[in-house]
Structure formats: C-alpha cells, structure tokens
A and B are shown apart, each in its own frame.
Chain A
Amino acid sequence: MAANYDGEPLLQVEGLKQYFQVSKTFTVKAVDDVSFKIYPGETYGLVGESGSGKSTIGRSVIRLYDPTAGKITFNGMDISGKMSKDVNDKLRTQMQMIFQDPMASLNPRKKIGEIIGEGLEIHNTYNSAAERNNAVKAILEKVGLSPEHATRYPHQFSGGQRQRVGIARALIMNPKLIIADECISALDVSIQAQVVNLMKDIQDETGTAYMFIAHDLSMVKYISDRIGVLHLGHLLETGTTEEIFDRPVHPYTRSLLSAIPAPNPIVEKQRKALRYDYKTSGIDYAKGTNHLVEGTHYVKCTDEEFAEWLPQSLHSVYESAEESGQ
C-alpha cells in the first residue's frame, strides 16, 4: 500500500513548541515552532544532529511530554491539550513507538510473549488467553521470529532479534503511525539492512505510517518518502526525499549532505565537507518564515536569505565545497 497524499493527513503538527524550564531564568527551547504533516502510509524522516530536537518531537507527538504550545491533530483527533479518556485510549493504540536500544526498552524479567502481549492486555482487546497467544504468535512470525521465542527472555536474543521484538510490540496494536526513534542506530550494518527491509515489508502489508528519526542520512534517504531537517529545534527544510537531496537550499542541509561519507575511496579522499557554524553564519532561525522552493519543498529563512541561497542550491554540495577552497 503506497502513501496516500490525497486525503487528510494522518498527523498534523502546527507550531509545536516544547520548552523545558531548567531554572527560573533559563529555559531550553528544545523544539521551537515546528510544523509538518504525515500522510497515511508514508515514511517521514526527521534528521538532525544530537540536540536538534528530533527525539523531543517524537516524544511530544506521542504525548510523553506535554507540549508547551501548538496543535497536534492525529487521525482527526486533537491530541495537543488535555485529552479525554476516549482520545487517550485511541492515541495509545493507534500510535506506537520503537526505541533505539532494544536491550534497555525490553523488561529483562518478562518473557517475550508477555512483553508483546502487554498492550493487548492493557487495552483489553482480546476475549480469551488463546486468542491473545495466537495474536502474539502471528506477530512473531510476521517479524521473522518463531512462535517458540515467546517463552524466552530478552537476554537470550541477539541485538537484531531484540529489535524485531520491539517492532512486534509496536505492531500488535495495529497502529496507524509508528514513531521509530533511532531504531537501527545501535545495530550492525548487516542487521540494519534486515530491520529496514522488515519495516518496509510491514508498511507494504499493513499501510502503517512511520516517523523515522535518525542521524544516518543514507539510511533516511533510502527509507523515507519525505524528510524534515532539524537544527536547534527549528525545522529548517522539508520536502520529498528527492527534493531535499537533489536541491538542498539551506546551508545547514547542504553541510549535512556533504558530510555523508560515500563508500567510494577515490572520491571520498578528495571530498571535503562543507562547514557550517550557526554562531558565525549570521542566520537567525527565529526570524525565518517558510518559503516555497517548488512542489512540497519548503525552507525556513528570511526573504533576503532565500534570494541569496536559491541560485546556489542548483550547484552540487561538493562543487561548492571545492570552490570555497576549504
């Protein structure tokens, strides 16, 4: 099932702000005025360096935090303010999360079957123990584990298998949106590919949407339909994967793309990454407004910056690195 862009978006985030008050005089603005949409069945990649607020957005959306300001609409329900019990129940089943470290996110004292079936139990969505066990077995098979694994403990699995358990736990509630927070970062290269393939297969089969939070850009490019680039809590640039990678406009995006190491030694030994330093760049993110580049490609900047960056964006990020002689 491909992404459906015609209807209503599944998740709509408007002007999301998430501040953390550290002391009376100091507040961390982890997420500042971020807006984006996720459509049913698509994969939206959120990229940015550590501290850019990408995980915070995931956590605010699934309401592990109470957003400071902004409106979040999920599947037609407003989930940004105080939620009624009904809305809360729906949110807790229809939106699920996969975490980065599978060993830290699975209870070591519970068997895999109990971990996966826990959601069913909490929401009382089964009639008999047999029905629940069958559901667990079916989901284990779907993620490439065998039903016998249900009676084992997390420590008896390898890293890749544990992450499959994490995926199974999210999937069993038949979610419409899965927030995958760095879910492959802790895995080995060959295992990463297995998990990514599995996630793609599951999307084809169930039509679930993913919010894929990661810092590995080549993997994000591979899995995502659309991408949002975050830096210091601001969503700087968003668009389809092709739009972002073919014509990055914002200097931060350009530096990010130029820093991806290509597995090609002759090329890589000559390439230099573009440098970007917010403090010396003279850009003030807070002043920026969204400017349309083309299609669904938006950049957050001022009018003057937009006029300056747009012609540059047609050059490859590597060419401009060489020209600037860095």
Chain B
Amino acid sequence: MPEERDKILDIQNLDITFRTTAGPVHAIRGVNIDLYRGQTVAIVGESGSGKSVTMKAAMGILASNAIVNSGVIDFSYKHLEDGRPDHVDILKQNKKWIREHINGRRIAMVFQDPMTSLDPTMTIGKQVMEGMMWHYNTPKEEAWKKAVELLDEVGIEEPEKRMKNYPHQLSGGMRQRVVIAIALSCDPDLLICDEPTTALDVTIQARIIDLIRRVQQERGISVIYITHGLGVVAKVADYVNVMYAGRIIEKGTINDIFYDPRHPYTWGLLSAMPDLATDDPRLYTIPGSPPNLLHAPAGDAFAPRNRYALVVDDKAEPPMFKISETHSAATWLLDPRAPKVEMPDALKARIARMKKEAEKYGGKL
C-alpha cells in the first residue's frame, strides 16, 4: 500500500431513523466507514442489518421517510475541468445537486437483480448511452461508439448487434454485464455493488466477480461490495466491515476477519456457512433471529443471540475495542475485565485448516 493513501469516502457516525406507521425504526446507529482510492471494502450482514441503507445514504437516494439524525458522508472528488481536488458532505446537498454531480457520474451502483434495474422497454444500447449523454452531453455518435467499447470491455460478444437488443433477450449473467457497463459509462470514482451476484449461478457469479475485479484494477476505481456471502467477500475484498442491527460490529483487513475473528457474531457467520471440508453432523448456528429495530434493544443488540453474552451486554452497548492498527470489534469480550472466551472449537479447527491451505498458496500469516 502506498503511504499517501487517497481517502475517497469517509462516513462518520451516520445515524438514520425511518418513520413508519408502526413507529420510528432506528435502522442505522452510528456507522463509520472509510474507503481509499483503488481499494475494495465489503460490508457483510444479514438482511435488515442496514448495509443497503448506508450505501443509499452515500448515493443520496434514501427513501423519503428517512431522517438523518447525525453523521457526515464526506466524498472526495476531482473537478472535471481542471482536476482540482474537492470534497463534499453528501448529506448536506440537495437532491438535484446530487443527481447532477454524484449519481451515476462519480458514484455508480450495481444492483442485485439486473431484470429490475434495466428498463425492459429500452434497447441496451440506449440504456448504456443514456448516462453519458445526460451527464456529459456526449454527442450521440460518440456515445454509441463508447457504448460498444464498454459492452466489449465487460465481455459481451458481438457488442454492435447487442446494442439493439432488449434486456429480455439476454441471459441473467449478460444482463448483469450490461448493468456493469452502464455503471462504468460515466467513469465513476466509486462503484457500489449491492449483492451483484446473489441472483446469479455460481459459474456466472465467478465470472462477474472476475470482471468487476479486472475493471477495478484497470481503472483504479474504488469498490464497495454489499453482500451476505462470505465466499464472495474472500475473493474480492481488501477490508471487511461486519454489520449487525445498524452498527458495524467488527472491521478489519480481510485476513483479520477470516483468520482472526473476534466478535461472536463473526464467529457465527463464519461457522454457519459450510465449507467443502465441513463434516460435522450439525452446523453451528446463531440462535434466534435479528432484532426488530422498531424497539431498539438496550445494551448490545446481539446479546440475546450470543451464547458468550456477559451481564454488561444487557446494560451498555460495547464500544469499538482496538485489536490492532487495522482490526477492531465491538464486543465486551475484548474488555480487559472480561473473562477469557475462545472461539468455538469447530471454528478454531477450521481456521487452522484454512491457514494451512493458505500457506500452500504462499500466504504468510
């Protein structure tokens, strides 16, 4: 990593409540994320943990019933005309400004289901060209040429022929490639991928991930990956944030999270997913289900599902304890006064196995 890392996105203490008919839902409770240029950050969590809401806030596309209680989303960019660096707090800008300067242009998003994010009544070519023409007033012929190049770049064969096709004429994997081409059409600095491969088959998933990685390396853009699949995270991410009930409960480099997890929830997530060597008769499970944020729990939100919960967990929310320069976790187990608790044996054995395998691939740990 170069020393003068260029911070591109800095989310600080983000706190969001949704007004609903059932009462206020405290969906995001103090989230901090930072992202440097050219890096990939993964946000992992179950549905309802707030990972998509956080990214929607960064895009300025929150639903109208969302209230931002506090927080800063600082986005750094360069002016197009003179390359002058500038930064802006997205939460303080109005929708129109964000629409013109951020959405699609500097931050682009790839959504989960390509069938719902593409317009079924427009040809693919038109949809790829739309962003360039809207944001940069690119002449039509030039936009057409660029769109063909983009389709070619994302691995669509016979791009010129495909330009005239409609989304329903393509397979799921091809559609997702089109969505990626659209996202790249305006040369964004940041690409947010919200479960980009969840709706796709494993073989197609592997190709789409390879594509996103290749594009990222070639263009030097930053990527935020929102997902619940840890296998995908292992493949793409440099840094991982684990989210639970609207908070980030563990963050660290990819190796910190996979080879030295500290939060019981992360233990649970890692163990609950069988790897190909798992032969225990039962899977380790996290009991219960995620809390309803309509009634935000006092203390640690994970305590009711945590078999290592301490008395203090019901009273006070744990702060982020720093484990190393890059790694921190929000669990009272890391407090010096806490009893020493080890991760479950099955997971320990599995991590040992993973490390051994990693050494074969030349990884040092």
Residue ranges of A at the interface with B (Cβ–Cβ < 8 Å): 49-50, 158-161, 188-194, 196-197, 200, 215-219, 221-222, 245, 255-256, 258-270, 272-273, 275-276
Contact = CB atoms under 8 A, between A and B. Distances in A.
Interface in B133-167: none
Nearest to A158: B289
Contacts of B285: 190, 193-194, 197
Interface of B: 46-47, 172, 201-207, 209-210, 228-235, 237, 254-255, 258, 268-276, 278, 281-287, 289-290, 354, 357-358, 360-363, 365
Residue with the greatest number of chain B CB neighbours at <10 A, chosen from A256, A261, A275: A261
B288 to A, nearest CB: 9
Residue with the greatest number of chain B CB neighbours at <10 A, chosen from A191, A194, A264: A264
Residue with the greatest number of chain A CB neighbours at <10 A, chosen from B254, B258, B274, B290: B274
A266 B358 CA distance: 6
Nearest to B292: A158
B335 to A, nearest CB: 25
A264 B354 contact: yes
- Grouping DSSP codes into helix (H, G, I), strand (E, B) and loop, the A interface class, with mixed when no group exceeds half, is helix
Residue with the greatest number of chain B CB neighbours at <10 A, chosen from A161, A222, A275: A222
7 contacts: A49-B204, A189-B230, A193-B284, A194-B286, A197-B283, A256-B202, A265-B234
A132 B281 CA distance: 34
B357 A267 contact: yes
Given A50-B172, A190-B46, A259 B206 contact: yes
Given A265-B254, A273-B206, A190 B268 contact: yes
A256 B172 CA distance: 17
Residue with the greatest number of chain A CB neighbours at <10 A, chosen from B202, B205, B272, B360: B202
Given A190-B46, A265-B258, 6 more contacts: A49-B201, A188-B290, A189-B228, A194-B286, A259-B202, A266-B363
A189 B275 CA distance: 13
A50 B231 contact: no
A270 B361 contact: yes
Nearest to B359: A266
A188 B46 contact: yes
A218 B273 contact: yes
A262 B276 contact: yes
Given A190-B286, A194-B285, A222-B274, A261 B206 contact: yes
A310 B283 CA distance: 34
A282 to B, nearest CB: 18
A200 B46 CA distance: 23
Contact of B275 (A263, A270, A275, A276): A263
A220 B205 CA distance: 17
A216 B205 CA distance: 12
B260 to A, nearest CB: 12
Contacts of B47: 159, 188
A267 B274 contact: no
Residue with the greatest number of chain B CB neighbours at <10 A, chosen from A190, A219, A222: A190
A265 B362 CA distance: 12
Contacts of A158: 289
A206 to B, nearest CB: 17
A269 B290 CA distance: 31
A265 B255 contact: yes
A39 to B, nearest CB: 20
A272 to B, nearest CB: 8
Nearest to B202: A259
Nearest to A222: B274
B357 A263 contact: no
A266 B255 contact: yes
Contact of A273 (B203, B237, B286, B365): B203
Contact of A191 (B210, B275, B289): B289
Contacts of A161: 289
A255 B203 contact: yes
Contact of A261 (B201, B229, B258, B272): B229
A219 B209 CA distance: 21
A227 to B, nearest CB: 13
B282 A200 contact: yes
B232 A261 contact: yes
A211 B50 CA distance: 35
Contacts of A221: 274, 276
A192 B269 CA distance: 11
A197 B282 contact: yes
Contacts of A188: 46-47, 228, 290
A223 to B, nearest CB: 9
Given A221-B274, A263-B270, A273 B358 contact: no
Residue with the greatest number of chain B CB neighbours at <10 A, chosen from A188, A215, A256, A272: A188
